[in-house]
Structure 1
Amino acid sequence: MGKLDGKIALITGGSEGIGLATAQRFLAEGAAHVFITGRRQEALDKAVKTLGGKNVTAVQGDTSNLADLDKLYSLIQKEKGHLDILFANAGSGRVAPLGSITEKHFDDTFNVNAKGVLFTVQKALPIFTNGGSIILNGSIASVKGVPGLSVYCATKAALRSFARCWTVDLKERKIRVNTVSPGPIDTPAMRSATSNEEEQKAFMATMAAGTVMNRIGESDEVAKAVVFLASDDSSYVTGIELFVDGGTAQI
């Protein structure tokens, strides 16, 4: 028996990286069906093939667009009738040092990372199972000061606050809300942070050196933590921030 047998799950930003790895883990643990979202149809099609094409539905859309969220939940309700697990994983971040932050940069970052997560969760509630599990994908940026990433860091701190508040808001429905906060993880997004191979190697080496374990984490290592928070293994765990960071934010 799997830890998620028969569960219906949604993973936003599920076409690559942590989201895709989590979808793979959910299916391996017996989830009856996993919905994934993403902005790029080509990436979603590739993800579905990677996931084997069974018990998975890819829905193109932008989590910061409320109309797209309405369409998403209408589809889930029509096809499955309810939702047991939500991993609000979609997010983005770009470097913008204080002094060069534009209004557009601020709005774009908060729209995806904060507004998008808020409404992804809120709009799920009418079809969400009592006793279900909501996991927010945070970051060590919620507690670390990172040069040039003050706006991104602020959005991740907001998610930590959301989890605390929503845990209380949803306690009567026995819905648990937790945050998983990755450190340096080898994902396409992280590798695209630099413009060439030489810079990429130097960047990855610097990130690895900042961890106690002296290495970059893998997406599947975060996915395993999400499975824990989604399953009954964490039945007495709610409102926490679980760092999966090789000790980066701890030491």
Structure 2
Amino acid sequence: MSTTPLAGKVAVITGGSKGIGAATATQLVSRGARVVVNYGRDTSAAEKLVSTLGADNAYAVQADAASISGVEKLVKSTIEKFGKIDILIPNAGLLTLKDVESCTEEDFDRTFNINVKGPFFLVQKALPYMAAGSSIVLISTTQCYASTVSAPYTLYCATKGAIDQLTRVLSKDLLAKKGIRVNAIAPGPTATDLFLEGKPQQVLDAIAGAHPGKRIGKPEEIAASIAYVVGDGASWVSGQTIKVNGGLA
């Protein structure tokens, strides 16, 4: 078995400089892919990751992954650098924790823009440069499948429910027309900046304590599942939202 099964492949990851995005970039490069790491504001984190992975393997592009102009810039920069896209991972996201009474129109627009609009139009703009055998992996959440979920997740789950439906419908459309697989990964609680921000240690301990495994997931564990889904071993996996949560839901 090849140690570089993704050799020759080009991957694009939004929100790629930290957390699950950075862990995924690392996993894909270890399998031979070249990776375009999109980031919003933290140039130092993106540059550090590229330095770690090697300039021949990784390329950082600053762009607003929530806007059409931003995803157009990302695609254009990728094609100018590498000439194609084989793996597309719209990973950038916003976790807005507000119940319906406290949610503002600005909260709604910002969250849907980054979690739904950005991925939708990134797929649209990337498709002309993706050949048969390419793979798209969207990011959902285990919260959409949990038997209990708290009110502050209302808006976030609404956006990820949209992602689940995009996965379901796009997978049928794009496999039939272009031979491109579409799947989604639905992480459970994972130790990323997005998840950890604003949570005191006692809350994190309670979340870990309620999990069958008595811990919170690691970004590398989510990344390993993404790396599997985009590989040849998952060539007959399409249209699936795969829960990666250690059995939580």
Q: Same fold (TM over 0.5)?
A: yes
| Aligned equivalents of 1:202, 1:73: Cα separation in 2 | 42
Would the aligned equivalents of 1:6 and 1:30 in 2 still touch at CA under 8 Å? yes
The residue number in structure 1 matching 2:172 is: 168
Q: Any unmatched runs of 5+ in structure 1?
A: none
Would the aligned equivalents of 1:142 and 1:160 in 2 still touch at CA under 8 Å? no
Q: In structure 1, the residue corresponding to 2:61 is in which secondary structure? A: strand
- Say which of 56, 59, 75 aligns to 1:57: 59
**Residue 21 of structure 1: CA displacement?**
0.4
TM-score by length of 1: 0.93
The residue number in structure 2 matching 1:191 is: 196
| Aligned equivalents of 1:77, 1:34: Cα separation in 2 | 12
Would the aligned equivalents of 1:141 and 1:157 in 2 still touch at CA under 8 Å? no
| Aligned equivalents of 2:112, 2:55: Cα separation in 1 | 33
Instruction: Please list the CA deviations of residues 98-154 of structure 1 after superposition, one character each: whole Å capped at 9, or x if unmatched.
Output: 211111001110010011110111111010121111000111122233321201011
**Residue 246 of structure 1: CA displacement?**
1.3
Q: Which residues of 2 match residues 69-218 of structure 1 at below 5 A?
A: 69-144=71-146, 145-172=149-176, 173-194=178-199, 199=200, 201-218=201-218
Residue identity matched to 1:230: V
The residue number in structure 2 matching 1:38 is: 39
Q: Which moved more, 1:136-145 or 1:11-20?
A: 136-145
**Residue 10 of structure 1: CA displacement?**
0.6
The residue number in structure 2 matching 1:235 is: 235
| Aligned equivalents of 2:119, 2:72: Cα separation in 1 | 14
**Residue 95 of structure 1: CA displacement?**
1.3
| Aligned equivalents of 2:210, 2:179: Cα separation in 1 | 38
| Aligned equivalents of 1:59, 1:191: Cα separation in 2 | 25
Greater strand share, structure number: 1
Quick one: percent identity of the two aligned structures? 38
Q: Which moved more, 1:166-175 or 1:139-148?
A: 139-148
Root-mean-square deviation over aligned CA pairs: 1.2
TM-score by length of 2: 0.94
Residue identity matched to 1:106: F
The residue number in structure 2 matching 1:25 is: 27
The residue number in structure 1 matching 2:248 is: 248
| Aligned equivalents of 1:96, 1:168: Cα separation in 2 | 34
Residue identity matched to 1:38: Y
Residue identity matched to 1:118: F
Cα separation, partners in 2 of 1:210 and 1:50, compared to 1, 3 Å: farther
| Aligned equivalents of 2:192, 2:77: Cα separation in 1 | 29
Q: Any unmatched runs of 5+ in structure 2?
A: none
Q: In structure 2, the residue corresponding to 1:59 is in which secondary structure? A: strand
The alignment covers a number of residue pairs equal to: 243
**Residue 193 of structure 1: CA displacement?**
2.7
Instruction: Please list the CA deviations of residues 137-179 of structure 1 after superposition, one character each: whole Å capped at 9, or x if unmatched.
Output: 1111222333212010110111010000001110221111000
Would the aligned equivalents of 1:143 and 1:157 in 2 still touch at CA under 8 Å? no
